[in-house]
A and B are shown apart, each in its own frame.
Chain A
Amino acid sequence: MEGKVVEKLKVDIKRMVDEVVVPTKKLEQTVEAALVIGRKKKRTSFVRRQNVLASLAAVFILAIGTVLFVPIILDSTNGTNGSESSIFSQAKVGSNEGLQRMAAEGRMKPLNLEAEDQGIKVILEEAYLDNYQLAISYRLEIDNEKAINQEKADISLEWFVDGRSQISHSVGGMDTKDLIEKGSVFTFDNTRDWSSNPQIDLHINLINGVEGDWSFSFNVEKVKEYLTLKSPIIVGDKESDYIAIGRAELTPSMLKLNASTHLTFEEAYPDFSRYDFLILSEGQDGYTYINDWLTRGSNSKGAYEFVTTNISLYETIEIPRMVNHFSYEIIPYIVTYTGVEHPPTEYGSKSWNFDMAKGDFTVGATLDLATPITIKEIKQIENETIVFYEMDFAFPIFPHIEDWENDLYIRPKAYKIHEGFVEVKYPKIEENESIQFLMYEAKYDVLSDYIIELNLN
């Protein structure tokens, strides 16, 4: 290969690596956690179970991915088997609508395992396993001064599946107070290749800076349902502009899509334009359900930056299965906000202030948008809150509900169009003075030539 090209490659590779942004604090925590685990002298036996593992080769730390996570209030529907009290059903615990539905349907395996060390008790309550994820709900009881005084929790653990050690992770950022009062959820993905009833061994080494040993062992049966797309779906012209779903995987708790988008636009979009999807499904109850994605992840350069003249994006989209539907309509669109960009922080982080309209959570309130929306009626039923909006319906984007006192941001989950108004369902909202409607002032450009029909029956 030509000398100059090799020289350029050398420069480019060095720059590629050197310019990686380092999350300094997280790295320091990671290193410290690794050193703590490395210092530990011996294994201790697990709380339960006869099959003690042989020497462990690696440690594992679990992290909660928070790529685009927004806290949601979850529907506390009645279910069988006492799911109302399930940690999975509660807000802000790292659960999602898919796991909530699994809890409501009584699909969680009760564990009721406890381990206590250093004045900290860890209680594993329930577990759920399918071909997308293993989820384990847990609580803490803390009688350790150092641990209780740490406001933001961090937990490090090793874990094993059928005796095989898994890669290390750590979980952190939750309020310690919430872990005690409400509990939280560990989630582990990439479970497709696991056996149908694997033995799971958890070994927690570190809680809020306190070294200890909290060990658990249990089996959990995998919910087997697993559907995949038979062949990729491409909409558009594969030689120029298209959107495609290369792969789709559906389990009871999650729909996971691998999507690619290659679009060019004759005219540049204005500033603050973003590319997004609505993922709709029709219910037998006459409502259209809005299936919000939980995460979108991509290695494509500039993946989620503002759109101007083109989109070139390979991504993975994870959509919790709030409802048990198998057919979806994926509607791509460009949303253009108005607002201002703030100067970057010292770490280079950017932020924006987009214009939005707010309205009181009362009948008659109006969101003062370019096309105003008025609250015609609010109906509270057992497990849902239904709001009737007077609005010119063009595109199914509806107000969200903010509960600023409880730091909750509640999205609409389904809608039904009537003559002159739209009926929108939300998870049950407990009314208080801190609740209000809000909606961004934005323009929506639906890419109607690229709507995808996805059927996984």
Chain B
Amino acid sequence: MSFFKGFGKKQKQENFEKLIKQEQVKLYKVAYSYVKNEQDALDIVQEAIIKGYKAFDQLKNIEYFSTWMTRILINTAIDFLKRRKEVIPLELSWFNRGVDEEEKIVMGMDISTVFEKLKPEQKTIILLRFYYGYSIREIADFTGKPEGTVKSQLHRTLQFIKGKLENGGKSGGKAQGRY
């Protein structure tokens, strides 16, 4: 594609800038999926773009720009969550809340709520598999993990999701307090 020919530093800058503008909406949506907060998602996108800009020279094949930026974004999102050490207000598992059939159906449809309960690495696997459509092998390449590890992580994550979708909050845990 003639768009990718003719590199000079300025040309490279312009190429990056054009390419990133094509990706920016998708990057934001994926970042938001991790943090469910507009400003945090914007922060992640910004940091990822800066990293990408600085590392752009290392990208050998420009046709993989989208995958390459996605990797940077996901790693940035995971680092962000680790640094933030988000405190979950109160885990659903604290309480064994009776859930009637209608609620099960409602909760069953709420994939967004279940997704929020996943750890960052679990979110990554689910997004790569079901949003980006990567194969196990591609996920293994992406994450730098062995295929077997990816398979078992995916399986455990899917079991967890299935459990949440069917049953809602799990029972167990001892509640403490004054009442």
Chain A contacts for B89, CB-based, 8 A: 246-247, 258-260, 314-316
Chain B contacts for A1, CB-based, 8 A: 155, 158-159, 162
A300 contacts B53, C-beta separation under 8 Å: no
A233 proximal to B (CB < 8 A): yes
Known: A63-B42, A239-B96. A31 touches B175 (CB 8 A): no
- CB-CB contacts of B144-161 with A at 8 A, as 1s and 0s? 000000000001001101
Known: A13-B131, A20-B33. A27 touches B80 (CB 8 A): no
Chain A contacts for B161, CB-based, 8 A: 9
- Chain B nearest CB, measured from A246 CB (Å): 3
- Chain A nearest CB, measured from B165 CB (Å): 8
B39 proximal to A (CB < 8 A): yes
Interfacial residues of chain A within 1-19, with CB under 8 A of chain B in the complex: 1, 5-6, 9-10, 12-14, 16-18
**Could you say which of A20, A28, A37 contacts B32, with CB atoms under 8 Å apart?**
A20
A301 contacts B158, C-beta separation under 8 Å: no
A232 contacts B33, C-beta separation under 8 Å: no
B176 contacts A232, C-beta separation under 8 Å: yes
Q: Which of A89-97, A129-137, A164-172, A373-381 contacts B (4 or more CB under 8 A)?
A: A164-172
**Could you say which of B25, B30, B80, B87 contacts A167, with CB atoms under 8 Å apart?**
B80
Chain A contacts for B116, CB-based, 8 A: 299
Known: A16-B112, A30-B42, A232-B90. A39 touches B96 (CB 8 A): no
A35 proximal to B (CB < 8 A): yes
Known: A9-B161, A167-B80, A297-B37. A239 touches B97 (CB 8 A): yes
A61 contacts B162, C-beta separation under 8 Å: no
Chain A contacts for B110, CB-based, 8 A: 301
A353 proximal to B (CB < 8 A): no
**Could you say which of A61, A232, A301 contacts B46, with CB atoms under 8 Å apart?**
A61
- Complex Cα–Cα for A231 and B179 (A): 12
A27 contacts B45, C-beta separation under 8 Å: yes
A34 contacts B50, C-beta separation under 8 Å: yes
B5 proximal to A (CB < 8 A): no
**Could you say which of B38, B49, B90, B96 contacts A314, with CB atoms under 8 Å apart?**
B90
A16 contacts B46, C-beta separation under 8 Å: no
List the A residue with the shortest CB-CB distance to B107.
A312
- Complex Cα–Cα for A260 and B179 (A): 15
B53 contacts A168, C-beta separation under 8 Å: no
A236 proximal to B (CB < 8 A): yes
A370 proximal to B (CB < 8 A): no
18 A–B contact pairs at CB < 8 A? A1-B159, A10-B130, A13-B127, A17-B127, A27-B28, A35-B53, A38-B53, A61-B46, A63-B43, A168-B47, A169-B43, A193-B85, A231-B177, A238-B95, A260-B89, A262-B97, A299-B116, A300-B113
Interface positions of B (Cβ within 8 A of A) = 13, 17, 20-21, 24-25, 28-30, 32-33, 36-39, 42-47, 49-51, 53-54, 80, 83-85, 87-90, 94-98, 110-113, 115-116, 126-127, 130-131, 155, 158-159, 161-162, 175-179
> Known pairs A13-B115, A23-B38. 4 more at Cβ < 8 A?
A190-B85, A259-B90, A297-B37, A300-B113
Interface positions of A (Cβ within 8 A of B) = 1, 5-6, 9-10, 12-14, 16-18, 20, 22-23, 26-28, 30-31, 33-35, 37-39, 58-61, 63, 65, 167-170, 190, 193, 231-236, 238-240, 242, 244, 246-247, 258-260, 262, 297, 299-301, 314-316, 453
Top-3 shortest CB links A-B? A38-B53, A258-B89, A246-B90
